[in-house]
Chain A
Amino acid sequence: MRTLETLGCLKKFCLGLTVLCGFGAAQPIAAQQAAAAEINLYSYRQPFLIQPLLDAFTAESGIKVRVVFAKKGMLERIRAAGRNNAADAVLTVDMGRLNELREAGVLAPVASPVLNANIPAHLRHPDGLWFALTTRARVALVSRERIGADELQSYEDLAEPRFKGRICMRSGKHAYNVALVAAMIHHKGADAARTWLKGLKANLARKPQGNDRAQAKAIYQGQCDVALANNYYMAKMATNEKKPEQKKWAAAVKLLYLNQGESQNGNHMNVSGAAVVKGAKHPAAAVKLLEFLSDAEAQRIYAEVNHEYPVKPGVRMSDLVRSWGAFKPDTADIEAIAKLRRRASRLVDEVRFNNGPTS
């Protein structure tokens, strides 16, 4: 039968697949033998941002860090792998992801005197399930020309009719905006938050789009007068030597901290953080990495290179960030806010925020 030939072909194909698996397989086995000398990291943060830190860690400890960078599917990968999970630690850019991992039960508690000393209690999980490594403020960027001195003071102001057609925003579904809406629900309740979000939507100058920098660019171009952005974007635009046009965008706007009044809660904050994965094959090395990232040297790099706020008390902010002055951060329970994320995301749907101002 000629069909045997075909089966032969199939066999060869399967053999090929096996060989392919084999050539990739050499790595993990070697890895298991050199167990202590490396860790595997899932990162929601872009490699080019964290590589200098990881290189410094490897130089100091001799532990190699192998990374997979992705923004989706990591939780599912950890969960599906079960006891075969290969990830030791995760790095995230938003409290929501940390909380999601915690709720899924894939994080391991860490008891480390170093971490506890470096990170203030409200910026880590009580049982050591997650740790914030930096904080960032969601601030207002306003046109220097078209916004008066006291015209905008709070997030609530953004819903006032005087801002009609003057606000630019990133997608309402972006993690940073969802977190802000969640904080609003936390402080004011869902109904007040909905009314606020409706008012804000009515004031939009255009359909939500682009990243945080694109909002500053829109103000520079005269499309709108007010935008919300994470503070470090302002610093990165202002110091961008490779793209000098971004310096113009930064020069066109003023950075405002919001809700600074006596009776107000302070400026909304988010965190970037890290956690050790349950069942990690190299737990000690993973804890070592977290400790390193929370310590003075790494915290200084975070502050200088990425212009975030270090969590370790006493580490200086970058000069530029300091030049914006002291401010009152919102110190509400960040995990409680993260738990409201789903509710917040639905609120964004309910007011059809992403449809923009017209509907």
Chain B
Amino acid sequence: MSVLAGRPPGRPPGRFWRPAAFPLTLGRLALDPWVLGALAVAGFVAAPLLAVIWQALATSDDIWSHLAATVLPVYIRETLLLMTGVGVGTFIVGTGCAWLVTMCRFPGQRVLTWALLLPFAVPAYLLAFVATDQLEYAGTVQTGLRALFGWQRPGDYWFPEIRSLGGAVWVMTLALYPYVYLLARAAFLEQSVCVLEVSRTLGKTAWGSFFGVALPLARPAIVIGISLVLMETLNDFGTVDFFAVETFTVGIYDVWLNQSSIAGAAQLSLVLMVFVLALITAERLARRGRRFHHTSSRYQNLPSYRLTGLKAVLAFAACVLPVVIGFVIPALVLAGYAIRFHAETLSPRYLEFAANSLGLSAFAAIAAAVIGLVLAYAQRLSQHPAVNGVVRFAGIGYAVPASVLAVGVILPLSQLDEAMDGATMTLLGIPAPLLVSGTLAAVVYGYLVRFLALSHGAVEAGLTKVTPNMDGAARTLGAGPGGALKRVHFPLIRGSLMTAALLVFVDCMKELPLTLVLRPFDFDTLATFVYQYASDELFEEASLAALTIVAAGILPVILLSMTIVASRRGGTAP
């Protein structure tokens, strides 16, 4: 079996062949510090998920037969419809706008390249509030229409109900499309012009090149974007609860809080996890191991189709609408309320909350980017199914409803508290500081678990675009895995790392459910401060803090946009 044990002929020295058989590679697995490190880190991140599974093993008081006979079909239907709607919506808006601003020239295009990311700074639950505030029966729009046409009662006219599945699809599409836009734009920017030129000289139209060449090349990135969107859709509670849409996550909270069954909630969460893993696996199988690398190193300014007349107007409208509805209007509405109600909420501790949010988010962002890098690079080195499996599993924390995940975080940390306290009491005679109630460690840990999919996804997207030949060359020239990472990969994927950190930063600023459950006493962030009002739909009072969350996201979002452009090799991009 020399073929299995040795290097395949014609391969560069290194670790780039797929292990032929699992048992044969166990020995190598055990010796490789990268792989061991990755397994340890992934295990650390996966521990809360395992805790959720452990809870699911307890008996759940007959939850399933009750649910199956009553509302389970509703939960499943509404969840699938919501996922389909948001998935399709974010694909169209995200990919379409990315293509337009990257490949075409039209008035406003330069500003729109970064403005299209702005809705990312607005938490979905705030967007939901603003949409309802404007569009419900008592809202500005319908009140105006009634005054205009003299309608008196609801029966006099038809207007779509905003608190509905459709409303949730719209709001979540607008809040989440930036993930797809971001990754699609980065992918389009990194595509070699040569490939596109070849497709044009071979007779493809502009649209043909888009669908035939650019889109397939960008597919891994777009798929990562959409999977992030779908996971966020699955774990959302604030928006769907506000819109009275009964998704699976609503069901999980109902079983937990109204039927007092954390075991039942954990079992439902487990179903969610299996579903997400199945989706990810299905997509990978559909790609069937096809890889999309750029083999050309020729990069020059991207061609730009100059749009004029109606086409320019349409392109402008298509790209400006998501920004206006997803960012400008919400920011203005919030600003209006913030001015009117600032006296209610402008407490002396306000700056403290803002500092807490910024500090926690920044720390978690850097830590998440480092962990993402370690895991993605170790996967690339080993290509080992065990490593891949553990990392994929650790990443699904993003799809688990965050309050359930928080309980998953509490369990292992409490065990650790118990052990550490015992140790320090025995050795030193003093109690150990408590991780769960006494420190921010639990909150940061929670963020890392929840947002691993983001940081790992962003780094992975960057790494897949680096052709393995680079690794081969570096290793042939004598660099070890660490040296290759430092001198070859790191400079190439610096942009992706920055993207990972910024994505996690903005998401941590918005993060609510985990922070609520895991924070120490007397500790608030802007999001938890907003929640005390938002939980009773007193959004007006919360507007000032909400606006600060949005504002804090703007700078990172602009940085993100600059990072993507800078990551394009071989010259300035549009």
Query: What is the CB-to-nearest-CB distance from A72 to chain B, in angstroms, rounded to a whole number?
Result: 5
Are the C-beta atoms of A1 and B480 separated by less than 8 Å? Answer: yes
How many residues from B make CB contacts under 8 Å with A? 80
Are the C-beta atoms of A103 and B533 separated by less than 8 Å? Answer: no
Are the C-beta atoms of A28 and B437 separated by less than 8 Å? Answer: yes
B216 on the A face (CB < 8 A): no
A residues less than 8 Å from B440 (CB atoms): 20-21, 23-24
A residues less than 8 Å from B340 (CB atoms): 242
Are the C-beta atoms of B439 and A25 separated by less than 8 Å? Answer: yes
Of the stretches B184-192, B197-205, B249-257, B304-312, the one at the interface is B249-257
A residues less than 8 Å from B69 (CB atoms): 350
Instruction: Summarize A's interface: helix, strand, loop or mixed.
Output: helix
Contact (A349, B71) CB under 8 Å given A13-B367, A82-B414: yes
Of the stretches A118-126, A202-210, A257-265, the one at the interface is A202-210
A211 on the B face (CB < 8 A): yes
Are the C-beta atoms of B521 and A67 separated by less than 8 Å? Answer: yes
Query: Which chain A residues numbered 54 to 92 have a C-beta less than 8 Å away from chain B?
Result: 66-74, 76-77, 80-87
Are the C-beta atoms of B436 and A70 separated by less than 8 Å? Answer: no
Query: What is the CB-to-nearest-CB distance from A9 to chain B, in angstroms, rounded to a whole number?
Result: 7
B215 on the A face (CB < 8 A): no
Are the C-beta atoms of B532 and A69 separated by less than 8 Å? Answer: yes
B323 on the A face (CB < 8 A): no
A243 on the B face (CB < 8 A): yes
B residues less than 8 Å from A223 (CB atoms): 137, 154
Are the C-beta atoms of A222 and B153 separated by less than 8 Å? Answer: yes
Set B37, B246, B418: member contacting A6, Cβ < 8 A: B37
In Å, the complex CA distance between A354 and B246 comes to: 8
Are the C-beta atoms of B154 and A28 separated by less than 8 Å? Answer: no
B426 on the A face (CB < 8 A): no
Query: Which chain B residues numbered 66 to 86 have a C-beta less than 8 Å away from chain A?
Result: 66-67, 69-71, 74
Contact (A3, B403) CB under 8 Å given A73-B517, A218-B137: no
Of the stretches A107-115, A127-135, A193-201, A338-346, the one at the interface is A338-346
Hey, what's the 0/1 contact readout for A206-224 against B, CB within 8 Å counting as 1? 1111110110011011110
Are the C-beta atoms of A66 and B522 separated by less than 8 Å? Answer: yes
Query: What is the CB-to-nearest-CB distance from A327 to chain B, in angstroms, rounded to a whole number?
Result: 25
B residues less than 8 Å from A17 (CB atoms): 367, 441, 444
Taking Cβ atoms with an 8 Å cutoff, the residues of B that contact A are 33-34, 37, 41, 66-67, 69-71, 74, 137-138, 152-154, 161, 163-164, 243-244, 246, 253-254, 256-260, 262, 340-341, 344, 363, 367, 370, 374, 403, 406-407, 410-411, 414, 417-418, 421, 430-431, 433-441, 444, 479-483, 485-486, 513, 516-517, 519-523, 528, 531-533, 535-537, 540
* Beyond A28-B520, A80-B407, A173-B258, 15 additional pairs, beta carbon < 8 A: A2-B486, A3-B482, A10-B374, A20-B441, A27-B520, A48-B532, A66-B521, A68-B521, A72-B516, A80-B411, A83-B418, A84-B421, A217-B138, A223-B137, A349-B71
Give 20 pairs: A residue, B residue, CB < 8 Å, sorted on A.
A2-B481, A6-B37, A10-B374, A20-B363, A27-B438, A27-B520, A28-B434, A68-B522, A70-B517, A72-B513, A77-B410, A77-B437, A81-B437, A84-B437, A208-B244, A209-B243, A210-B163, A211-B536, A243-B540, A349-B71
